[in-house]
Amino acid sequence: MAVKDYEAVIGLEIHVELLTESKMFCGSAVTFGEEPNTHTCPICLGLPGTLPVTNKKAIEYITMIGLALNCKINPISQFHRKNYFYPDMPKDYQISQYDIPVASNGFLDVELDGGERRVRILRAHIEEDTGKLLHESKSGRLHEAKYSLVDFNRAGTPLAETVTEPDIRSAEQAVAFVSQLRSIVQHLGVSDGNMEEGSLRVDANISLRPVGSNEFGVKAEVKNMNSFRSLKKALNFEIERQEELLRNGGEVHQETRHWDEKLGRTTTLRRKEEVQDYRYFPDPDLVPFNLTEDYVEEIRSKLPELPKDRKKRFIEEYGLPAHDARVLTQSKAVGDYFDEAVKLYKKDPKNVSNWIIGEFSYHLKNANLEIDESAITPKHLVNLLNLIDKKTISGKIAKEVFDEMFNTGKLPDIIVEEKQLVQIVDESEIEKIVDAVLEENAQAVEDLKSGKEKALGFLVGQVMRFSKGKANPEIVNRLIKKKI
Ligand code: ADP
Ligand code: MG
């Protein structure tokens, strides 16, 4: 029997914490990393007799997200109670939305290097976040802990949840989708979308089916991916796990699985609840709310530039290739940086792009920094480009200067002066070094005379080495050729 080929089917549920000043239903401040249990009140602690009051800003933000995802904004919307017991949730129910979310039936066109894929959005709704549990064990996991601590600072923070249709077919597509959604919420200014800090959290639903089949298989849900890298690894692991199971005649269980970053695998967390387990019912403390056409249109008219518009502008206004424009709009901070730098260096936007996408990204990745956390401001970068243009320094030295400014935050002008890196363009000075190198490398000179072109590179390299990289390479080349 031929081996079946399987296709992955993936749907994502993405939560983003909204950047409102106060929580979803009370006046406690939304904070991150503060002393535990210092930003709470009787409402977000779920004390009896308190009443929630809806945060207007949070409704505005979820409406903006809905519109940016091409959703229909429902004129009447409602809060439901999702009932379950867990110690991070003081009320024993979470205020969420159920059958009438704020937004539904949208889509996002996800761009990949190989083309575009439309992912339909089932819904985008608003809910409140839970508190945080700290399990006192080495692994930080519950089953090894003697006790757990609970911090309610996060409890009640507004969360926007976006749910996709199962339209995603690979880990790469999932990463591209999340990356684009993250850039959208950043551009909207409604969330910082930081996966590492947990302000953007992805639950991935994955199933497999034989290629050509129209039916969906049983899915598993995977949680706890804290970066794009781990999202990709977790999805690929889960796809392989299910494939092996199915190939060996086993079956996938409907369950929630935990991605273990250290072990590089997913493990069973719990058998998945069914929707009826939650006993959803309308929250009697919160009446349905009305989002009128006027309200929605006003928000639509005030939407800021979104990543796709920005990308278009980068292509049309700055003449960038589509690939560059896409990379530069993957996060708001990078787009802002590019815009700022080009303002200072209008003559060649592509040059700015090359440095950001190349050298700069490489350094940021190694240092695990975002562009706006780096000491290199647009002014620094443009200073460097100008030094190269004026031939004050060579391209090779520029990389050295870049390194130094990345580590110290000094301006290139200062670094070049302090380290005396100015390029040598004085021919007589270079000639002295060339003469010395030719004398010392008789063999290479012979090789070059007999037509071995490789010897030229070697000799140029030697001159560059003796000049500590400062000799102008074109002059070096010319002089060597002249002398042989
Ligand atoms: P549940 O009730 O189990 O939470 P939902 O219908 O609410 O399931 O869907 C949750 C997410 O799972 C959605 O993103 C949806 O696209 C995705 N999904 C649903 N069925 C499948 C499937 N068979 N395989 C992969 N993903 C699925
Ligand atoms: Mg669900």
Radius of gyration of the chain (CA): 29
Per-residue pLDDT band at 272 (split at 50, 70, 90)? low
- Give residue 1's pLDDT: 43
Q: Which of 105, 205, 276 to mutate to test the pocket of ligand 1 (most atoms within 8 A of CB)?
A: 205
**Cα 217 from chain centroid?**
30
Per-residue pLDDT, 334: 97
pLDDT tens digits for range 419-451: 888 888 888 889 999 999 999 998 999 998 888
Average pLDDT for residues 109-135, to the nearest whole number? 93
Name the pLDDT band for 41 (thresholds 50, 70, 90).
very high
pTM, rounded to two decimals: 0.89
Backbone angles phi, psi at 450, to 5 degrees: -85, 15
The answer, yes or no, to whether any atom of ligand 1 lies below 6 A from the CB of 13, is yes
- Closest ligand 1 atom, residue 218 Cα: 23
Could you report the per-residue pLDDT of 372-381, keeping only the tens digit for each? 999 999 999 9
- If one residue of 121, 215, 219 were mutated to test the ligand 1 pocket, choosing by the most ligand atoms within 8 A of its CB, it would be 219
The full 3-state SS of 35-85, as one line of letters, equals CCCCCCCCCCCCCCCCCCCCCHHHHHHHHHHHHHCCCEECCEECCEEEECC
Cβ of 163 closer than 6 Å to ligand 1, yes or no, is yes
CB-based contacts of 194, cutoff 8 Å, min separation 6: 200
**pLDDT digit string (tens) for 240-265?**
999 999 999 999 999 999 999 999 99
By mean pLDDT, which of 70-79, 310-319, 343-352, 412-421 is the weakest?
A: 412-421
At 12-40, the pLDDT tens digits run 999 999 999 999 999 999 999 899 999 99
DSSP assigned state of 344? H
When pLDDT is averaged across residues 388-415 and rounded to a whole number, the result is 93
Strands (E), 115-227: 115-128, 132-135, 148-151, 158-164, 200-210, 220-223
Nearest CA owner, ligand 1 atom 23: 216
Phi, psi of 112 (to 5 degrees): -130, 165
Mean pLDDT (whole number) for 67-82:
97
Lowest average pLDDT, out of 112-116, 175-179, 333-337, 366-370, goes to 112-116
Name the closest-CA residue to atom 2, ligand 1. 275
**Confidence band, pLDDT 50/70/90 cuts, at residue 3:** low
pLDDT-based confidence at residue 484 (cuts at 50, 70, 90): confident
Q: Which ligand is nearest to the CA of 164?
A: 1
Using the predicted structure, report yes or no on whether residue 2 has a pLDDT greater than 60.
no
State the average pLDDT over residues 339-359.
97
Percentage, residues of the chain above pLDDT 70: 99
Specify whether the backbone of 189 is left (phi greater than 0), alpha (psi in -120 to 50) or beta: left
8 Å CB contact between 219 and 206: yes
All domains of the chain in start order, with CATH = 3-298 (no CATH), 305-419 (no CATH), 427-483 (1.10.10.410)
Is residue 162 in contact with ligand 1, taking CB distance under 6 Å? no
Whole-number average pLDDT of the chain: 94
CB 195 within 8 A of CB 204: no
Q: Is the pLDDT of residue 125 over 50?
A: yes
Residues 187-228: tens digit of each pLDDT: 999 999 999 999 999 999 999 999 999 999 999 999 999 999
Does 219 contact ligand 1 (Cβ within 6 A)?
yes
Residue nearest to atom 6 of ligand 1 (CA): 165
pLDDT of residue 118: 97
Atom of ligand 1 nearest to the CA of 164: 14
Integer CA distances (angstroms), 345 to 74, 309, 380, in order: 46, 22, 11
- Tell me what pLDDT residue 21 has: 98
CA of 212 to the centre of ligand 1 (A): 20
213 C-beta closer than 6 A to ligand 1: no
Instruction: Report how far ligand 2's centroid is from the alpha carbon of 270 (Å).
Output: 15
**Total residue length of the chain:** 484
Alpha helix (H) ranges present in 248-321?
293-301, 307-318
Q: Please report which confidence band the pLDDT of residue 231 belongs to, taking 50, 70 and 90 as the band edges.
A: very high
* Mean of pLDDT values over 220-240: 96
